[in-house]
Amino acid sequence: MFAVLRDLIRYNIEFAIGMVLVGVVVIFALLSLFSPVDPSLIYIAIPDQPPSAQYWFGTNSRGQDLFWQLSAAFRNSLLFGVTVAVLSRIISIAVGLAAGYLGGWVDRVLMFVNDIFVSVPIFPVLVLFYFVLRNNMDSFTMALILACFGWPFDARLIRSVALGLKHREFTRHAVFAGMSTRKVLLEEHLPYVMPIIFSTFMNNMLWSIGMEVTLAVLGFTNINNPTIGTVLYWANSHSAMVVGTWWWIVIPVILMVTTFIGLFLLAISMNEYIDPRSRLRRMGA
């Protein structure tokens, strides 16, 4: 595991850059654990101060120190992304492996359900859920809903690998040796799909954080919970760009682009790592 990581950092420039970018953001988000202020309180600093030695990122029109505010926001957003990614990975692994290995009608039913989830436009559905739940829409509920929609693509990917694994010699040996289906899937097949899971994990995080931002900017989430999206929501509702408090928009956008590019680079370099052909080309073969 560590050898793989070391090789990736050494030979894959995208992976190294991605690690650095994500690392910076994660450290920044972790600083919120030592935050001297409660991020949910307003009017505790002088409003509308530009970045200075005292307020590194300035303060916003709601009287919050943007440094600590953004730190808490990034922690919440990253946590949200990880929650969605973990939950939807569980579903996609279960569906993908079962459909690929068991085949037959199980496969047909699961892929039929999969097709339905693929073709439902997620955004109207999320808005619908917000419309119905209103104040009960906290970030865990939203993570659950997004996880329910985030699995189908990856389940297909995992299924295609599982289809190949099913006919390999070692699977037959395992079955003849009396291994239960559950054991075959978890102990024999799961390690083979692990790289896919890692790379889709990043993509899923990107997607879910993007969704959260989109919803929050429109005011369709709990706007008092600091996340990347709600920071932008409040900046917008105080028309930060027009009033001249540019740091309220520009700093979160820069941090956000850093996060997104970092996660994206990690995802594509992982993808490349999985595909042996492109690895060979990189080595000059």
Residues that bind other proteins (CB under 8 A): 112, 115-116, 118-125, 127-134, 153, 206, 209-211, 213-214, 217-218, 220, 232, 241, 253, 256-257, 260-261, 263-265, 268, 275, 277-278, 281
Least distance between other proteins and beta carbon 280 (Å)? 9
Q: Give 27 or 128: the residue with its C-beta nearer to other proteins.
A: 128
Nearest distance, CB of residue 44 and other proteins, angstroms: 28
Alpha helices, DSSP H, located in 103-227: 104-119, 122-133, 139-149, 152-166, 169-176, 181-183, 190-217
**Environment class of 41 (CB within 10 Å of its CB; exposed 0-12, middle 13-18, buried 19+):** exposed
Shortest distance, position 227 Cβ to other proteins, whole Å: 13
Nearest to 238 by CA among 85, 97, 42, 78: 42
DSSP-assigned beta bridge partners for residue 44: none
CB of 207 to other proteins, least distance (A): 9
> Residue 86 burial by CB count (10 A; 0-12/13-18/19+): exposed, middle or buried?
middle
- Distance CA(40)–CA(54), nearest Å, equals 20
The residue (of 45 and 235) whose beta carbon lies closer to other proteins is 235
Give the nearest distance from C-beta 277 to other proteins in angstroms: 6
Give the nearer residue to other proteins in terms of CB position, either 5 or 241. Answer: 241
Nearest CB to other proteins, comparing residues 136 and 181: 136
- CA 145-149-154 angle, 5° bins: 140
Whichever of 106 and 113 has its CB closer to other proteins, that residue is 113
